[in-house]
Amino acid sequence: MNKKNNIDIEFILVEPSHSGNIGACARAIKNMGFEKLAIVKPRKTITEEAFHRAKSAKDILENAVIYESFDQAIEEKNLILATSARERTIPWPTFYIDEISEEIKGELKSEKTKSAIIFGREDNGLSNEELQKCHIHLVIPTSDEYSSLNLSHALQLVAFEIRKIYLDNNVPISEEKDLVSNLENEKLLEHLMEVLKKIDFYDPKSSKQVKTRIERLIKKIRLDKMEMGILRGFLSKIMDFEK
Ligand code: SAH
């Protein structure tokens, strides 16, 4: 089967420290019919070893996008999936990689969706702050005794599951929603926090988790452009009212 995927997904590695792993990730991406590799602040340059491990996926390595920061990598994206081997303090919407909801599968197939799948550092994964900037967490159900996979092995398994979604004609493409970008969501969060402070509902010193919970709410409801316009307008009115 020689089939390329139309799914426009960027596979993003955050601060990888082994050049060989980067090469192996490039190979996994190409094997599964995808094209886009991106790296946030690589800790090693892309060396000979990376090209050696990439084999016939050298083009993927050569075309890899390098981002200066995590925020820059996800700014334009509107469906951001983070992979993690560990449970975190504030639970986020989480799926096993082979149990992604039908809604998300349909959105992944849509040309309107700008999606990213994020992979963490080999030594300590993704930070809580980074994970909280993502819509959904994906877990590969590994052994409790030793849950952490090699970076490129994790990417290989995730890419295979996404390929299956693409090849499955029973998953309808879902294009109803014009989802907002992460940058717009970040601006909404700041606007909302500003209003909540102004009306004395929120004090950053005493209620640290409130902001995280509101961030989770925003990620969960996944606003479209029209809904975002209404909400931002509504918040601006409250700010004017309080003056
Ligand atoms: N020691 C790190 C794991 C790093 S493994 C930690 O404890 O967080 C490097 C990356 O591979 C992870 O950040 C994640 O993106 C991916 N990964 C490894 N094992 C995984 C698993 N079981 N489920 C989902 N992603 C996994």
| Ligand 1 near 17 CB (within 6 A) | no
CA angle 153, 75, 120 (to 5 degrees): 25
Write the CATH number for 233: 1.10.8
**Tens place of pLDDT for every residue, the chain, 243 residues?**
556 666 779 999 999 999 999 999 999 999 999 999 999 999 988 899 999 999 999 999 999 999 999 999 999 999 999 999 976 667 899 999 999 999 999 999 998 899 999 999 999 999 999 999 999 999 999 999 999 999 999 999 999 999 999 999 898 888 788 999 999 999 999 999 999 999 999 888 877 789 999 999 999 999 999 999 999 999 999 998 755
Task: Return d(Cα 203, Cα 78) in angstroms, integer.
Answer: 29
Is the same domain home to 139 and 193?
A: no
Is the same domain home to 145 and 201?
A: no
Is the same domain home to 15 and 45?
A: yes
Is the same domain home to 129 and 233?
A: no
Task: Return d(Cα 148, Cα 104) in angstroms, integer.
Answer: 25
Is the same domain home to 186 and 111?
A: no
CA 65 to centroid of ligand 1, rounded, Å = 21
Is the same domain home to 156 and 232?
A: no
Report yes or no on 80 lying in a domain.
Answer: yes
Report yes or no on 172 lying in a domain.
Answer: no
Is the same domain home to 110 and 18?
A: yes
Is the same domain home to 162 and 186?
A: no
| Ligand 1 near 19 CB (within 6 A) | no
Report yes or no on 1 lying in a domain.
Answer: no
Number of domains in the chain: 2
pLDDT of residue 215: 94
Is the same domain home to 157 and 186?
A: no
Q: How far is CA 96 from the centre of its chain?
A: 15
- Residue ranges in 58-101 assigned as alpha helix (H): 58-62, 70-74
Is the same domain home to 53 and 81?
A: yes
Is the same domain home to 20 and 125?
A: yes
CA 12 to centroid of ligand 1, rounded, Å = 13
| Ligand 1 near 127 CB (within 6 A) | no
Range of the domain at 194: 182-242
How much is the pTM?
A: 0.94
Is the same domain home to 67 and 95?
A: yes
CA 27 to centroid of ligand 1, rounded, Å = 18
| Ligand 1 near 154 CB (within 6 A) | yes
CA 140 to centroid of ligand 1, rounded, Å = 9
Write the CATH number for 120: 3.40.1280.10
| Ligand 1 near 126 CB (within 6 A) | yes
Residue 194 phi/psi, 5° resolution? -60, -45
> Which residue, chain included where needed, has tokens 């990620």?
219
CA 196 to centroid of ligand 1, rounded, Å = 36
Residue 83 phi/psi, 5° resolution? -105, 140
